[in-house]
Structure formats: structure tokens, C-alpha cells
């Protein structure tokens, strides 16, 4: 398993602003992912954070809206840009040792956009 | 198209009343099936990984089983602290998980 922390744990933001969420892991991992969980819904993969290269985005998610950085094997950030109330969700990072293996999730960041 | 369906959507049990949660899946080449527990406002907590039909895993009052089309999460003599949403996910050899919508379990004292 892995110990994963996220900052902030929650935030309330104004429409049109941006928020950067940090994900820190206690050991080096190959794979890091970002998910969104909208109220009452299950988890949807936003993108895979690739170390040293651009993130791989899933259908319906674009880099301009959700820029991602991964400078090393233990840290990643997700920015939610130009926010609207529809972006209100829980944002989760997860990690895995290799592709297809068990993913372990962070505690999540609860975002409310007014 | 890969798909995961969980049932029931919600389940209320009396303390000690055993039951099972179902996860039906359609995937092109199952690599792994995963069960998670999620408490309100928190990230999913890993429970089990199952790789092949016939496999079973146990942890305290929970037991997960896998067939070629579905998985069951059996809860034996549940306690109120077992109340949570239980999520099932599958992967088909890539990194991408397909999640079900979960079963909300409430165990009454």
C-alpha cells in the first residue's frame, strides 16, 4: 500500500478562479491518477499524470481546464481552471505500482464553487 | 463497451443480519476486479483484488468471490461500523479502472 496525502482537504472558491490540488505519496510510484467524484456519483478518471511528460487525458477532459504536473515519482498537482459551480466535486488522486495493479486513493479534496 | 453494474443501490441491514452485494461486469479480458469501501467525504479504502474466477478473499467480516461474470461481497454478521458505500471496479489490462456506482450499506444497531 501507500500513504497518500492531499492538500487542501476542502475549499470554497468563487466562479472564474482556479485551484491547485497537491498529491504527495510516501514512496516512489510508477502510476499516478486524478479522479473526479461528483455528488452522489461514482469515480470518473480525469487523467494519468506522467512523470516528465504531458498528462494523458480521458475523453471529456482537456489540459486547458485541468492542467496537471508531475515533477517526480512522489508528487503531482491538478489545477481546476476557470471554475464554475459544475466543477463542485471531490477530487481524488490515486497511485499504483504498475499499470493494471491495485490503486490506492488519497483522502480527497472537496471543492465547492459558488 | 466495458461496464460495471452494482446491486442493490442501497441496503439496510440489522446488526448481525448477513447479506451479499453484487457486482456484475462486462469487460474484454479481465485483468483485475477491485472492491473498495468509501466513507462519506473520504477517499476509497482498498479492500480486495481478485484476478481469476473461483478466487476468494476474506478480511474480518467481509468475503469477496469472483466468477466469470460477477463478484459478490459477502458481509457476515455486520456491525454498524460496516456502514459505508462499497465500490467495485474492473480493469482489462490497462491502467484504467471502470467503477460501478456503488452500494450504500446501512447497518442498524
**Euclidean distance between CA atoms A64 and B43, whole angstroms:** 26
CB B59 within 8 A of CB B48: yes
**Euclidean distance between CA atoms A104 and A14, whole angstroms:** 31
* Cβ contacts of B86 within 8 Å, gap of 6 or more: B6, B21, B35, B36, B37, B38, B47, B73, B102, B103, B105
B96/A96 touch (CB, cutoff 8 Å), yes or no: no
Instruction: Give CA separation, A11 vs A100, A109, B39, in Å.
Output: 32, 8, 19
Which residue has cell 490506492? Answer: A104
CB B8 within 8 A of CB B29: no
> Does the beta carbon of A84 lie under 8 angstroms from any beta carbon of chain B?
no
**Euclidean distance between CA atoms A95 and A48, whole angstroms:** 10
Grid coordinates given for A51: 512523470
Q: Which residue of A has its CA nearest to B5?
A: A42
Q: What pLDDT does A99 receive? A: 64
Tell me the β-bridge partners of B20: B74
Tens digit of pLDDT for each residue in A45-88?
A: 999 998 888 999 999 999 999 999 999 999 999 999 999 999 99
**Euclidean distance between CA atoms A82 and A76, whole angstroms:** 20
Tens digits of pLDDT across chain B (109 residues): 889 999 999 999 999 999 999 999 998 888 899 999 999 989 999 999 999 999 999 999 999 999 999 999 999 999 999 999 999 999 987 778 999 999 999 999 9
**Euclidean distance between CA atoms A80 and B103, whole angstroms:** 29
Q: What pLDDT does B105 receive? A: 98
Instruction: Give CA separation, B14 vs B39, B71, B87, in Å.
Output: 19, 23, 21
Neighbours of A61 (CB within 10 A): 16
Which residues does chain A have within 8 Å of residue B95's beta carbon, measured at their own beta carbons? Answer: 31, 33, 48, 96, 99-100
**A-interface mutation test, from B36, B97, B100, most A Cβ less than 10 A away:** B97
Grid coordinates given for B25: 461486469
B95/A92 touch (CB, cutoff 8 Å), yes or no: no
Indicate left, alpha or beta for B97 from its phi (over 0: left) and psi (-120 to 50: alpha): beta
Amino acid at each position: 500500500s501507500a500513504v497518500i496525502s492531499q492538500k487542501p482537504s476542502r475549499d470554497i472558491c468563487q466562479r472564474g478562479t482556479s485551484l491547485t490540488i497537491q498529491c504527495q505519496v510516501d514512496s516512489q510510484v510508477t502510476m499516478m491518477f486524478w479522479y473526479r467524484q461528483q455528488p452522489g456519483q461514482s469515480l470518473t478518471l480525469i487523467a494519468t499524470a506522467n512523470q516528465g511528460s504531458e498528462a494523458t487525458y480521458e475523453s471529456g477532459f482537456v489540459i486547458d481546464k485541468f492542467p496537471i504536473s508531475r515533477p517526480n515519482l512522489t508528487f503531482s498537482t491538478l489545477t481546476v481552471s476557470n471554475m464554475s459551480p459544475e466543477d463542485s466535486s471531490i477530487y481524488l488522486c490515486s497511485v499504483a505500482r504498475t499499470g493494471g495493479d491495485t490503486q490506492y486513493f488519497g483522502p480527497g479534496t472537496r471543492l465547492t464553487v459558488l | 463497451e466495458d461496464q460495471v453494474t452494482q446491486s442493490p443501490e442501497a441496503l439496510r441491514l440489522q446488526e448481525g443480519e448477513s447479506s451479499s452485494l453484487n457486482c456484475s461486469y462486462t469487460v474484454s479480458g479481465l485483468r483485475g476486479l477491485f472492491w473498495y469501501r468509501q466513507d462519506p467525504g473520504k477517499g476509497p479504502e482498498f479492500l480486495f483484488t481478485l484476478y481469476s474466477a473461483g478466487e476468494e478473499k476474506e478480511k474480518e467480516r467481509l468475503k469477496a468471490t469472483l466468477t466469470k461474470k460477477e463478484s459478490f461481497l459477502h458481509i457476515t454478521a455486520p456491525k454498524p461500523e460496516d456502514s459505508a458505500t462499497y465500490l467495485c471496479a474492473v480493469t482489462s489490462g490497462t491502467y484504467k479502472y471502470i467503477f460501478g456506482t456503488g452500494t450504500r450499506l446501512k447497518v442498524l444497531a
